[in-house]
């Protein structure tokens, strides 16, 4: 049994309010844009995801990022987990990501987190993403108890939760 209904079709293009930006599933071909986005915001991303995921390592190479994105692409195709990249309309810049994962911790049926690159923190784009993600998850995904890590629940609180019970 999977964590999603067998007939669930994941969204492939999600426009942000205000236009000019959208989310879509990430792919290995996005490495050229993803690598500088991640490494350019690495210290802040490590402060968020480092303890939980060990990511992004200071020594992460372009090839490691490519391998990671190819893995994400396979997981998306298999509906195991989802990584959506935030792009400008022309897809010339990757400006953040949204992660939708099966629960690792008790108390949720999905775990969602997201980020924007350093130079978009505190901007209208970040506010638009912060407004979109909870609504999008509620309206278009089949979860009853999603956990919005870093927003609804702090990373510290999430890390302290007991592990999810798997069937």
CATH class held by domain 20-160: alpha beta
pLDDT tens digits, residue range 128-137? 999 999 999 9
pLDDT tens digits, residue range 7-46? 999 999 999 998 899 999 999 999 999 999 999 999 999 9
The beta strands (E) that lie in 4-134 are given as 14-15, 21-25, 82-88, 94-101, 110-116
Q: Please return the burial class of 63, using the count of CB atoms within 10 Å of its CB with bins 0-12, 13-18 and 19+.
A: exposed
> What sign does the dihedral 57-60-64-65 (CA atoms) show?
positive
pTM of the model: 0.96
């Amino acid at each position: 049994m999977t964590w999603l209904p067998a007939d669930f079709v994941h969204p492939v293009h999600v426009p942000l309010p205000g236009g000019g930006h959208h989310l879509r599933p990430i792919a290995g071909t996005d490495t050229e844009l993803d690598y500088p986005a991640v490494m350019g915001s690495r210290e802040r991303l490590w402060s968020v995801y480092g303890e939980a995921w060990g990511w992004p390592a200071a020594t992460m190479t372009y090839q490691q990022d490519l391998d990671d994105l190819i893995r994400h692409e396979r997981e998306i195709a298999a509906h195991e987990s989802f990584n959506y990249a935030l792009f400008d309309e022309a897809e010339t810049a990757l400006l953040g990501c949204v992660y939708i994962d099966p629960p690792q911790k008790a108390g949720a049926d999905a775990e969602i987190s997201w980020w924007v690159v350093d130079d978009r923190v505190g901007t209208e784009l970040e506010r638009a993403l912060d407004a979109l993600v909870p609504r999008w998850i509620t309206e278009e995904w089949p979860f009853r108890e999603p956990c919005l890590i870093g927003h609804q629940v702090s990373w510290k609180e999430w890390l302290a939760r007991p592990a999810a019970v798997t069937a």
